Structure 1
């Protein structure tokens, strides 16, 4: 009798553990679907913003520099650089979105229209935590210019110390 109750407890434990594992896998799958749907929604918003740019009168821009070198940085450090954007045309310049090449780069940019001959900015913030060695990163800046997107790049030599 005692042996049967131990066996029964063991079987119930296995079933409970298996049921929990199955639920965890289902939750992971559901989280993956939610994440994918959020990515699609953000992508669709970006596409809508870019389509709106094409309806606006075109202008032109100049970038203070399209490439920046952070040099040597320590792994785990957070660095940022601001690129200055000048509206060289005769229509307001609209930056609709800035799309970084990877999740390690977070953009911030001028959201208001940049009037002719005025300046705006695009700041790229880089988290080096997941990297080692020479890194080349980029972000695409979508605007109401003929040559959109404008690509901004930076490099960093991430050192482990």
Structure 2
């Protein structure tokens, strides 16, 4: 009976060691930019704060399509400090859009998915 309890305790502690507690607090995980003009790329900045006790390092940022370029804070983000992920959407096609950006860090085992959305409108030239 004691062997079963010890085995269960060891299993529980082992599983707990794989659990990762996020140390990133995002200002917003979804940003709606509203209407934007066609043929003018739109940069959307996602801000976050390191709420943990160790440095956060962004290891990868990937847009959901070739129409979304990305940039991000490349240096380690110290505890209590902030960083950014910038998604620049190429507003070539008219209409509503919803795109995602996946952010991989040393703080979470699973990438954080950020969403940007809006509507691309035709530019009316008056003359």
Q: TM-score range by the shorter chain?
A: 0.7 to 0.9
**Structure label with greater radius of gyration:** 1
- Runs of 5+ unmatched residues, structure 2: 1-19
Preserved contact between residue 60 and residue 145 of structure 1 (Cα < 8 Å) = yes
Instruction: Tell me how far apart the structure 2 counterparts of residues 154 and 147 of structure 1 sit (CA, whole Å).
Output: 22
Query: Structure 1, residues 76-101: CA drift from partner, whole Å, max 9, x if none?
Result: 11111111111111111000110000
Secondary structure, aligned partner of 2:36 = strand
**Alignment of structure 1 residues 1-161 onto 2, 5 Å:** 60-129=23-92, 131-161=93-123
Preserved contact between residue 86 and residue 118 of structure 1 (Cα < 8 Å) = yes
Deviation for aligned residue 1:147: 4.8
Which protein, 1 or 2, shows the higher relative CO under an 8 Å CA cutoff with sep ≥ 6?
Answer: 2
**Aligned-residue CA RMSD (Å):** 1.6
- Runs of 5+ unmatched residues, structure 1: 1-56
Q: Which has the higher helix share?
A: 1
Aligned residue for 1:48? Answer: none
Q: Which has the higher strand share?
A: 2
Structure-2 change in CA distance of 1:66 and 1:59 (3 Å): closer
Instruction: Tell me how far apart the structure 1 counterparts of residues 25 and 88 of structure 2 sit (CA, whole Å).
Output: 21
Deviation for aligned residue 1:148: 2.6
